[in-house]
Each structure stands twice: as structure tokens, then as C-alpha cells.
Amino acid sequence: MMEFTEKDKEQLKSKGISETKVSAQIETFKEGIPFVNLQRAAVVGDGIYRFTKEEEEDLVTSYEANAKNLSILKFVPASGAASRMFKALFNFLDAYNPTDETFDAYLERSNDKDLKVFAEGIKNFPFYQKVKDRLNQESATKGEEVYAFVSEMMGEDALNYGFYPKGLLPFHQYDNNTATPFEEHLKEGALYGASNGNAKLHFTISEQHEEMFKEEFSQVGTRVSEATGTAFTVDYSFQKSATDTIAVDMNNKPFRNNDGSVLFRPGGHGALIENLNEQDADIIFIKNIDNVAVMRDSDAVAQSKKILAGVLLNTQKKAFDYMRLIQGGGVEENQSAEIKEFLESKLNARFAGDYDRFTKEEQLKALQEKLQRPIRVCGMVKNEGEPGGGPFWITNAQGELSLQIIESAQIDMDDQKQVAILKNSTHFNPVDLVCGVRNQKGEKLDLLKFVDHKQGFITGKTKDGKELKALELPGLWNGAMAYWNTIFVEVPLVTFNPVKTVNDLLKPSHQG
């Protein structure tokens, strides 16, 4: 156990973190986190569903027929700041002086391909006119023009886009206005997340940006409401301080700041399982803030979401019926086999090898344990080389086989067999989930009971010139949902339009 000073104990108390939790995290650093054990890639026909047009239409109809009787929530992780998106522009401001060299000479010297793309497409950015209107003088050279433009975008005393949350940047240019991802999520919410003319959205944000989000909603909410005929309820939560994780030095001792305090770092998006656990609805759609397309693609996106929701409702209904049957007693042997077959074929559950030797009571207990879990239906797009977690069959430390979304950082890249399985992967996860978090009685399940704490990440960082090790919690759609019942469904590429760098806004899916 770590020895805590009185000052340490006060710090832990103020953050709402127990000493036991910190000691467990330090043990994790000492032991290391084992790589996952991939068995095979999930592919269409083995872990991923692909539906016919007729099946898709039936699923959409099923969702639309039920939506008016359901509570529906759209949950949007939106705490990301835009600073990473503008990394190339910050580098350019540091590296270039327009009075010392021409822009072409800089591009040749630096081989800065990102800046070349940015400069060539500059008029196609949704913020182009806004920046130009703020620059009141014409530049003499191309270098001066681009430098002035980027300075106006990024300057702390100018637009200061690097400080913005990604969700509040201009992403799309329409005839008469620009739209932020926040606004596009409202429009999407009206298309597939509304019930009886009401759409509820929950955004997880950084505390420092709360007023900015509220201001944006006050500016665009009425306009979107009138355009879509939908009333919106929007609320926010912050990543909890209690989910921060301790950082350690290279000897696994707590890393201390210059003032002697222990360094804690945000635990990554896996911390948001706590925020999600505080929400309650019949259906929860989860989608990242930066994954929005221009509205001409909105119908295709909405159709895809309704298909996933239809899958969830149909499967959940059957699971609830079976739970009631078990709890009512008197399950016949053929019914027990039917429930097991449903769990294996529809919910991808797998049972212990000696299941057939269980007593009838033990078998029913095992079936009930598998049925009494939250369900996630995850969209999977064909892999076009984009980064993101992939769908795999894995075995855990107990030898249990399950379907999981796995990031490359969780895979041992020195193991040729594991790398070969990774290369066989045909699809990846664009963070496109539809979740059922209630049981057959309508009671909300405690999502914190379904986390695999052994699926976190240890990463190397530096602070004040010193090396440290940081711990990321199991990712929200990775280990934080490891013990959910999981269904993967192929979805069209049009549903995946993330903006990781500013130049992604030049892609056709973001050009209004």
C-alpha cells in the first residue's frame, strides 16, 4: 500500500478519490496491463450482421412504430478541445516568418503537406468569410496572406479557435449560415431521436466551455426547432474529477508536481461510463461530437440509426420475454435450449465448455446472468484505412470468448499471430452505438457492474521535462462495455465523417 501524507489525503478527498482506488491503480502500473487475446476478426457472417433492403425496411418500420411510446436520448461525448485539430496550424505559426521567406520556399523547406492542402483549399473552409471579414488589409504576398489568415484564426486575442471545444467550431457552410457540430447534432436528433415531437440530447463537455454551449443553444435552438418541428431538451455533464487517474514516475512511485502535490490526469473517454450511468432512457444513441455530415446526407444517416434501433428493440423484446419466462419458473428443457440458442445466435453470448454438465438450476442461472445485461448494437463500417477500434472475437483471462471493440494499442504488435488477425479485420467502429440499459421490469441497470477494468491503457508522457506513466481507463466503447451483450451491424460509410484535423473539413461530406 502507498504511504499517503496528510497533504495527499486532503488532495484525494477534494477530488473524491479513495486511497484504495489509488493504491489499486499503482498496482496496475506495477503489474502492467496484459494485451488482449484476439481469437479472430469479426466479419460479416461471423459476428457482423448485414441486412437485405427488405430486412432494413422492416427494422426501420419497427423502430418508427415504437418510437412514440419510448423515452429516447442522444448521448454525445463533446469534451474534446479543438487544439489537436489545429496542430498543423500552430506548428506553421511557430515555424514561418513571411518577411524572411516566400510561402513556396517554406513549403519546400519544411515539406509541410498539411499546410499546402490548407492553403490550396482555404476558400472552401466554412470559416473563410468570417476570417476574411476580420482582416481589413490585403496582403502583398501569398505567405503574408496565409500567415495573417491563420493568425486571425488561432490568435488568443483574435478568434482563438484553438481554445474552442470542437463542437462549437464552424463545420459546414450553407447558403445563409454556417453550422457547428452542436447544431448538426440537434438536426440529427430531430430526424431519428425524437419521440412525440420532442428530442432529448445530453452532451458531456468541459466545465470551462459550459457557457459557450448554452450560448450556442440560445442562438440556434429556436431556428432548428422551427425548421424541424421539434422541441429540444438539452443538458450537460462534466467528466468527473473522481475518475482522474494517478500518474507515476518510471519507478511506479506517484509523480509529483513542483509544489509536491500528486499529479492526476483525466482518465480518457472511459470515464464517461459514469456520466452515461446517470442517464436513463429506453434507447440511448451514442455518437461523437465531430462525426457529423452536411444535411444532404442526413436521411441516409437517420435511416442507418433507425435500423440499429430496430435491431435493439426486436432483440431486447425477445430477451425480456425469456427473462420473464425464467423468473416465472417452469421452464421446459426444450425452452432452455431455445433460450441458449437465442443468446448465442442473436446476442453473441458464449457459455462455459462444461455447460452441458450443469444441473438444470445452474443452467437457468447461467442463462439469466447472460440475459440480465445491457445491450449495445454497434454500427461497423468497412475499413478504408481510417483509425479506430475494430470488431474482434477475444478470450479474456477466464477463457471466456466474447465480441469486443478493440483498439490497436491493446494488441501485442510483436506477436505475429495477433498481427495477422488484426490484418484480417474488414470493419472498424465509428462510435455509432444504440444502447438498451434497462431490464425487463423497466429498471435501469448499473452500468458500472459491466466494466472490464483490465482493459485500460498505460501510456508514456512527459511533464516538466520528466518522463511519467499515465493510466487511461477502459475506453467507453471498449472495456467499459466489455460485459454488455453485443451486436455488430454493417452500416454505410456515409455515416462516418469524423473531423480529426482541420483539413478533414475539405472532404466532400463536409462541403455544403
Closest CA to 455 of 431, 477, 432: 477
DSSP secondary structure of 302-360: HHHHHHHHHHHHHHHHHHHHHHHHHHHS---HHHHHHHHHHHHHHS-----TTGGGS-H
Distances (CA, A) of 1 to 21, 28, 68, 158, 254: 11, 12, 53, 50, 12
> CA-to-CA distance for 38 and 417, rounded, in angstroms?
9
> CA-to-CA distance for 260 and 276, rounded, in angstroms?
34
Buried b / exposed e over 26-44, threshold 16 CB at 10 Å, is: bebbeeebeebbbeebbbe
In the prediction, which pLDDT does 418 show? 94
Cell, residue 97: 516568418
Pure H helices in 229-297: 272-277
What are the residue boundaries of the structural domains of the chain, listed by start?
6-81+165-313+407-411+421-495, 83-163
Specify whether the backbone of 163 is left (phi greater than 0), alpha (psi in -120 to 50) or beta. Answer: alpha
Cell, residue 258: 513542483
> CA-to-CA distance for 324 and 322, rounded, in angstroms?
5
> CA-to-CA distance for 66 and 47, rounded, in angstroms?
27
**How remote is the C-alpha of 448 from its chain's centroid?**
17
Whether 244 contacts 255, CB under 8 Å: no
**Which H or E element spans position 282?**
none
Distances (CA, A) of 254 to 16, 258, 469: 18, 13, 10
Cell, residue 157: 486575442
Residues near 344 by beta carbon (within 8 Å), at least 6 away in sequence:
350, 351
pLDDT tens string, the chain, 512 residues long: the values are 567 888 988 999 999 999 889 998 999 999 999 899 999 999 999 999 999 999 999 999 999 999 999 999 999 999 877 888 999 999 999 999 999 999 999 999 999 999 999 999 999 999 999 999 999 777 778 999 999 999 999 999 999 999 899 999 999 999 889 999 999 999 999 999 999 999 999 999 999 999 999 999 999 999 999 999 999 999 999 998 889 999 999 999 999 998 889 999 988 889 999 999 999 999 999 999 999 988 888 899 999 999 999 999 999 999 999 999 999 888 888 999 999 999 999 999 999 888 889 999 999 999 999 999 999 999 999 987 665 679 999 998 788 899 999 988 899 999 999 999 998 899 988 889 999 999 999 999 999 999 998 889 898 998 888 899 999 999 999 999 999 999 999 999 999 999 999 999 999 999 97
Whether 171 contacts 46, CB under 8 Å: no
Domain 6-81+165-313+407-411+421-495 has CATH 3.90.550.10: yes
In the prediction, which pLDDT does 409 show? 86
Cell, residue 127: 470559416
Residues near 316 by beta carbon (within 8 Å), at least 6 away in sequence:
375, 436
Whether 413 contacts 419, CB under 8 Å: yes
Cell, residue 407: 483498439
Q: Which residue has the cell 452441458?
A: 356
